[in-house]
Amino acid sequence: MLNVKVHSKFEEIVKKTEPFLLSYPGNWPAFNFSPFGVEIPKENRFSCIKQGHAMFFDLLHALDGLAFGPMGMPMDKWVFFDCGEMPGGIFGLGVRASALNDSALAEYKIDKNYKGLIPVSMYVSIPMVVKDVWFGHNLSSANRVLKDKMPGLGLLTKALALKAFNIKTILGATQWDSKALEIHLQLADMEIESSYTPAHSFKNTMTYKSIYSDEIIISALSGNKRDATKYDFLYPSEDENFSIKVQDRIESGERFKIVGRPINENGKIVYPIKAII
């Protein structure tokens, strides 16, 4: 159970799910297996080099397909292994197969006789060469296919993962039109490292840096929306030319950060931006 005060919807998710952590066992001494009091049972601490966990590996791959397949960004299993499980880890929340309806089970493509844990959310993170900095690789949930939706599942998963991995600073990359930005921005400001990134398969991708503390994470789970009150301009999420212009300014030495959750302005999503002096 959570040992901090949070909104009741997050307490309900903790009651309905089981936490898990998947990584190379040599990494385990660096992890916190009881993030904010949510104990990760030993049977849910999966080694990525054990063949007995093959079914769970497949289920994680299926979850990634549910979340990113429609966007054209599903990962091959080797990417999970090489870029997530071995150097870093995957934290998530799961439910027993008996808790899912037939249509959800079909989405995971598993046998109806399977009774084990099914991951319904995950956060993949990788330590960087820079000391005490991690790269946020993947945040996803299966809420889209669950009969009993769990509002806040993605936010709670990332919050607990940050604590489980003892992360204070995250670098990440995401698309300007990603719905996950609302989750990331509920947790912390995002300093823009690049607003337009040709090295990525999707050029209109932004890279960012966020800094976390226990106080920031707990506040994010309070139920109070983290909306911006002051900003210098609004960033149109779908305007690639705008991204290129901001990138030119960044490369000329200017610095910017997103200082609150996305804003719906006349049906279009924009982001509150503040210049860093």
For residues 249-253, average pLDDT: 98
Residue 65 has pLDDT above 90, yes or no: no
Helix, strand, coil percent values for the chain (each to nearest 5): 35, 25, 35
Tell me the per-residue pLDDT of 203-215, one tens digit each, with 9 for 90 and over: 999 999 999 999 9
Q: Which residues pair with 205 in a beta bridge?
A: 175
Residue 70 has pLDDT above 80, yes or no: no
pTM of the full structure: 0.94
pLDDT for position 236: 96
Tell me the per-residue pLDDT of 86-127, one tens digit each, with 9 for 90 and over: 999 999 999 998 888 888 888 888 877 788 999 999 999 999
pLDDT for position 100: 86
Q: How many CB atoms lie within 10 A of CB 70?
A: 10
Which percentage of the chain shows pLDDT scores above 70?
Answer: 97
Q: Which residues contact 26 (CB under 8 A, 6 or more apart)?
A: none
- For residue 273, CA distances in Å to 175, 183, 257, 258 come to 16, 17, 6, 5
Residue 11 has pLDDT above 80, yes or no: yes
**CA 14, CA 262: separation in Å to the nearest integer?**
27
Maximum CA pair distance of the chain?
59
Residue 250 has pLDDT above 70, yes or no: yes
Give the model's confidence band at 72: pLDDT under 50 very low, under 70 low, under 90 confident, else very high.
very low
**CA 152, CA 146: separation in Å to the nearest integer?**
13
- For residue 25, CA distances in Å to 8, 91, 135 come to 34, 14, 20
pLDDT for position 111: 74
Q: Which residues contact 19 (CB under 8 A, 6 or more apart)?
A: 35, 38, 39, 40, 44, 91, 92, 93, 94, 160, 164
**CA 140, CA 265: separation in Å to the nearest integer?**
26
Tell me the per-residue pLDDT of 170-199, one tens digit each, with 9 for 90 and over: 999 999 999 899 999 999 999 999 999 999
Amino acid at 73: M
The answer to whether 234 and 274 have CB atoms below 8 angstroms apart is: no
- For residue 35, CA distances in Å to 89, 98, 165, 217 come to 15, 26, 9, 11
Average pLDDT, the chain: 92
